Amino acid sequence: MKRTRLHRLVSAPEIVVVDLADHALHALRLALLAEHPPLRDEEGFVTEEPPVQRQARQLLRRARRLRRELDAYRHAVDLALQYPSGDFPF
């Protein structure tokens, strides 16, 4: 393991769980797309789809948003580790 990754894990151990959640959401996306191929078409809301497929579509949208939030959290942690005193360059 690289020194920077080890430092990140020691300083912010929650990153392990954040990464696991991100991978789990990716696996969920793949499973839902395999089960419901029409979901690959992301052209908004489809009015004539079965309720379970509609719920799966909603779940994919929410999982995508959560993955973006996880990325933002990782970025914030990386900034905090890079500038521990809070003196961000912006």
Q: Is the pTM of this model over 0.75?
A: yes
Positive or negative: CA dihedral 31, 36, 41, 45? negative
Low-confidence spans in the chain with pLDDT less than 70 = 42-47, 86-90
Give yes or no for a contact between 56 and 28, defined as CB atoms under 8 angstroms apart.
Answer: no
- In this prediction, residue 72 carries a pLDDT of 98
pLDDT of residue 85: 73
- Going by C-alpha positions, the residue among 32, 35, 18 that lies closest to residue 76 is 18
- What is the predicted pLDDT for the residue at 7? 81
Strands (E) located in the chain:
none
Can you give the pLDDT at residue 53? 94
Query: Which pLDDT score, from 0 to 100, does residue 83 have?
Result: 83
